[in-house]
Structure 1
Amino acid sequence: MKSQADRSRIEDDLAGLVSIPSLTGDEDAIQDAVAELLIDAGLSVERQVIALSEIVSDPDFPGIEVDRDHLPIVAARLKGRLPGPTRMLCGHVDVVPAGDPGSWSSPPFQPEIRDGKLYGRGACDMKGGLVSAIEAVRMVDPEQLAGEVIVLSVPAEEDGGSGAFAAIRAGYTADACIILEPTRLEAVVAHGGAITFTIDVPGKAAHASVRREGVSALDNLHYLIAALEVDESIRNRAETRPEMAALGLPYPTIIGQVEGGTWASTVMDRVVAHGRYGVTLGQDCDDAAEDLRAAIAAAAGEHEFLAEHLPHVSVWGGRFGSASIASDHDLVASLQSAARDIGARIPAPVGAPYGADMRLFVNHGATPTLMYGPGDVKWAHAANEHVAIDEVVECAEVVARWLVSGAQ
């Protein structure tokens, strides 16, 4: 195994991927580029284009939030000289929109390196991690490898995880998997999830001059939000797993969009609110939806108007379940040992408050999985998204050591 990653090549590879605007739902071009990098790295590359229609009726289908009809999957294999386990490195190539270009210090799809960091949409989430994976397998000598390595590049993580789900259904599982999401080089062993919901809140219209004759749907929404805040507090206080409890708010609830009103001088008779509701460890998305509906129903039952005019709750879009492995799992210990062997920082087991493809491999692929990668999630989806090149390099070197550790 090569002892050091090639920093210059990492910079070039990452800049090349970030320059491709691979918005979720439009991942074909970026998958072409990833396949070329993997071929250049000497791996045997497999490509599949899976029709959405082939998996959408699966009872475990995780949902979508953008229009798409196919899922381009890229997988690459490196076989070792010795028998051993199958280890997988997984990353997603889709990114979210860049938002207002004026909020960026440089164009989001024109990558720029400043002060040792590469800036651009997707640099942190998670093309930096994908480049770490590719560089890691470049560093590995097959003669030192026991078993097989699979590098899996998937679309559609941002809008639900249908890319990873399709790959799992196509047979891409392993004895152990690392997803190289931005974790600040910590080992995420547990993560919450989220469902998307809509609440249709009724009111009673009236002229503004006699507003007390009406019932404001907006006021009713404020009342329901207060109830959801109480529910959020109860659900978060109940968490006992240390890695999740340490987050403070592992299962947040938010209202992100509100629509309503037909006239400036009319009391609002309807408000529609869209939001996110957390999925706790140990429950699935259906369980979380039941919790949400119960909280709304209980609050409505104690409200003079809403008790007779019930709000309607619908759950739709991506279904991000939760997942976990034990903090002392062999996968965690082997990654820590690899970092220790090369003098890198030792990844501590931590929790994450967001949904990720990890839950699909754990819950549907019977594959022990953790997340470990360069970058800080606070820069994911943000203006001036960036990743430190030093972290991409360190991640590649630790992962390369982990890949060959079974042959030592």
Structure 2
Amino acid sequence: MTPDQIESAVAAAMPQTVEDLKRLAAIPSVAFPGHPEEPVLAAAAVTEELLRSTGLPRVQQVAVEGSFPAVYAEAPAPPGAPTVLLYAHYDVQPAGDPAAWRTPPFEPTLIDGRLYGRGTADDKSGVMSHVAALRAFRGRFPVGIKVIVEGQEEYAGERLEAFVERNPELLRADAIVVADTGNPRVGDPAVTTSLRGMAAFTVEVRTLREPVHSGSAGGAAPDALAALMRMLTALHDDNGDIRVPGLPRGSFLGQGPSEEEFRKTAGVLDGASLVGSGSLADRLWSSYAITVTGLDVPTVAQAINAVQPAARARVTVRVPPAGDPKTTVNAVVEFLRQVTPWGVQVGFGDFTVGSGFQADSGGAARAALNRAMERAFGRPPRDVGAGGSIPLVNTLLKQFPAAEILLFGAEDEDAGCHAPNERVDLEELRKVATAEALFLQELGSA
């Protein structure tokens, strides 16, 4: 196919691509504990159906131990052509507070060229960018194709890592496209060359057998919530830099966002200062970050005049690409033990870790992607980092050291991933799908 034919095919199919994305995003496929399994399995079934529609001769669900099924597909390589592995995930983050959404989180809503809803960007746009790119070839692919779409990346993606290690030949490829990142801004093409890793755990503090009246016991009885708050606030100094020993600041050589751009994207309120030291690129892409992502305590609406006997928090640590998540989480846990006040009982559990990633300088696949993205977006891509982690990437790097791993997608920085009012820009999705299809053709021709 010529580049003009590829661009026309992707553009002509966009109405169907949007309808398919709406159908997939309407499924609340939250693979976290405590959420129903049926929607996750339904999303796997729809993903399988969508991949079949591309003309891939082999499409099936494959079991992943301790997790939800992955959807696997493949087509053999033409003689002399390389094989490309395409990755995405069909599970999503929980919606959180429905009141924080301007539209219902699982009723995809189109507003001014953008589709709003949980998962429309992260990462069902990744599923659809693969589907749209593959459909353009009508079953006659210029390279060998392998596809793996997993079902529990958001909560426990490391379970797919073990699957890859046990089935290396199933996923072996010359180039790997990971469609779970995006551009800094809509229309600003970029390839993610650096990912921070991730570690998370739950900390629980216990002080009393049961709640006691704050009037009769307050002032002497140890408050579990107060103890936990002291521990968590000790993690950072007054400037917002991490106080845990052994977690130094890093540096990122590429260009990061300006403070004005970041404040707008992150929604920082007027008068609120940014935290931490070093450049924004250093802080966002190459340094450690610790965030308290949840607390189990009585809500304000359910508050009673009592000293709390127990409190729990979920703590997430972002780890620089070269850092070790396991060593990092051990350092944070040990620090919290050291700052635990009043001799209270403290426990840690529900650990999750995922490694970071640093790309090399790139070879034939990156050169082909540069040409494809320049045609699709009108300018060449630049290298950027990402603060999030994709657990599978480092495992793929270890299993297939000769393969080039390319991270790009339709999740721009303002897409609201993991936040209320998540959305994908549909023109951005078209350009990304076009770039992917052009990349496959370029690599096959090379």
- TM-score tier by shorter-chain length is 0.7 to 0.9
Q: Which residue of 1 aligns with 2:242?
A: 232
TM-score by length of 1: 0.82
Whether 1:277 aligns to 2:317 is yes
Q: Which residue of 1 aligns with 2:92?
A: 95
Asked whether the equivalents of residues 194 and 278 of structure 1 are also in contact (C-alpha less than 8 Å), the reply is: yes
Q: Out of 145, 148, 160, which is 1:152 matched to?
A: 148
- Matching residue's letter, 1:350: V
Greater shift in the superposed pair: 212-221 or 398-407: 212-221
Q: Out of 376, 382, 385, which is 1:348 matched to?
A: 382
Q: Give secondary structure in 1 for the equivalent of 2:155.
A: coil
- Matching residue's letter, 1:152: I
Asked whether the equivalents of residues 104 and 117 of structure 2 are also in contact (C-alpha less than 8 Å), the reply is: yes
Shift of 1:202: 5.3
Q: Give secondary structure in 2 for the equivalent of 1:151.
A: strand
Q: Residues 273-332 of structure 1, C-alpha deviation per residue, up to 9 Å, x if partnerless?
A: 3221223322333211222123224435xx6x3xxx276352424322222212546544
| CA 1:264–1:130: 2 relative to 1, 3 Å | closer
| CA–CA separation in structure 1 for the residues paired with 2:98 and 2:30 | 15
| CA 1:112–1:342: 2 relative to 1, 3 Å | closer
Q: Out of 246, 253, 263, which is 1:242 matched to?
A: 253
Q: Which residue of 2 aligns with 1:324?
A: 358
- Matching residue's letter, 1:148: G
Q: Give secondary structure in 2 for the equivalent of 1:376.
A: coil
Q: Which residue of 2 aligns with 1:125?
A: 122
| CA–CA separation in structure 1 for the residues paired with 2:200 and 2:350 | 6
Q: Which residue of 1 aligns with 2:370?
A: 336
Asked whether the equivalents of residues 206 and 214 of structure 1 are also in contact (C-alpha less than 8 Å), the reply is: no
Asked whether the equivalents of residues 358 and 370 of structure 1 are also in contact (C-alpha less than 8 Å), the reply is: no
| CA–CA separation in structure 2 for the residues paired with 1:341 and 1:331 | 16
| CA 1:241–1:329: 2 relative to 1, 3 Å | farther
- Matching residue's letter, 1:177: I
Q: Which residue of 2 aligns with 1:78?
A: 75
| CA–CA separation in structure 1 for the residues paired with 2:345 and 2:423 | 42
| CA 1:122–1:213: 2 relative to 1, 3 Å | closer
In structure 2, the gaps of 5 or more residues are 32-36, 184-188, 257-279
Asked whether the equivalents of residues 247 and 353 of structure 1 are also in contact (C-alpha less than 8 Å), the reply is: no
Greater shift in the superposed pair: 328-337 or 347-356: 328-337
Q: Out of 348, 351, 359, which is 2:394 matched to?
A: 359
* Matches for 1:1-400 after TM superposition, within 5 Å: 1=1, 2-4=5-7, 5=10, 6-24=13-31, 25=37, 26-50=39-63, 52=65, 70-140=67-137, 145=142, 147-162=143-158, 164-165=160-161, 167-168=163-164, 169-170=166-167, 171-184=170-183, 185-201=189-205, 208=215, 211-230=218-237, 232=242, 238-242=249-253, 246=281, 248-250=283-285, 251-259=288-296, 267-268=307-308, 270-300=310-340, 305=342, 309=343, 312-328=346-362, 331-342=365-376, 344-356=378-390, 357-363=392-398, 366=401, 367-377=403-413, 378-400=415-437
| CA–CA separation in structure 2 for the residues paired with 1:153 and 1:30 | 11
| CA 1:267–1:401: 2 relative to 1, 3 Å | same
Q: Which residue of 2 aligns with 1:65?
A: none
Asked whether the equivalents of residues 31 and 72 of structure 1 are also in contact (C-alpha less than 8 Å), the reply is: yes
- Matching residue's letter, 2:173: A
| CA–CA separation in structure 2 for the residues paired with 1:331 and 1:310 | 55
Asked whether the equivalents of residues 77 and 83 of structure 2 are also in contact (C-alpha less than 8 Å), the reply is: no
Shift of 1:143: 6.4
Shift of 1:343: 5.2
Asked whether the equivalents of residues 24 and 43 of structure 2 are also in contact (C-alpha less than 8 Å), the reply is: yes
| CA 1:327–1:209: 2 relative to 1, 3 Å | farther
| CA–CA separation in structure 2 for the residues paired with 1:238 and 1:247 | 7
| CA–CA separation in structure 2 for the residues paired with 1:84 and 1:311 | 61
Greater shift in the superposed pair: 367-376 or 99-108: 99-108
Q: Residues 79-117 of structure 1, C-alpha deviation per residue, up to 9 Å, x if partnerless?
A: 343313221111101112333444433333332322111
Q: Give secondary structure in 1 for the equivalent of 2:322.
A: coil
Q: Give secondary structure in 1 for the equivalent of 2:103.
A: coil
Aligned length: 385
- Matching residue's letter, 2:328: A
| CA 1:233–1:74: 2 relative to 1, 3 Å | same
Asked whether the equivalents of residues 292 and 313 of structure 2 are also in contact (C-alpha less than 8 Å), the reply is: yes
- Matching residue's letter, 1:296: L
TM-score by length of 2: 0.75
| CA 1:228–1:103: 2 relative to 1, 3 Å | closer
Asked whether the equivalents of residues 221 and 307 of structure 2 are also in contact (C-alpha less than 8 Å), the reply is: yes
Shift of 1:45: 2.4
Shift of 1:129: 1.9
Greater shift in the superposed pair: 151-160 or 260-269: 260-269
| CA–CA separation in structure 2 for the residues paired with 1:207 and 1:396 | 59
| CA 1:266–1:131: 2 relative to 1, 3 Å | closer
Shift of 1:224: 1.9
Q: CA RMSD in A?
A: 3.2
In structure 1, the gaps of 5 or more residues are 57-69
Q: Give secondary structure in 2 for the equivalent of 1:232.
A: coil
Q: Residues 323-378 of structure 1, C-alpha deviation per residue, up to 9 Å, x if partnerless?
A: 22125465444322221245534322111111213234234564542321013355
| CA 1:271–1:121: 2 relative to 1, 3 Å | closer
Q: Give secondary structure in 1 for the equivalent of 2:368.
A: helix
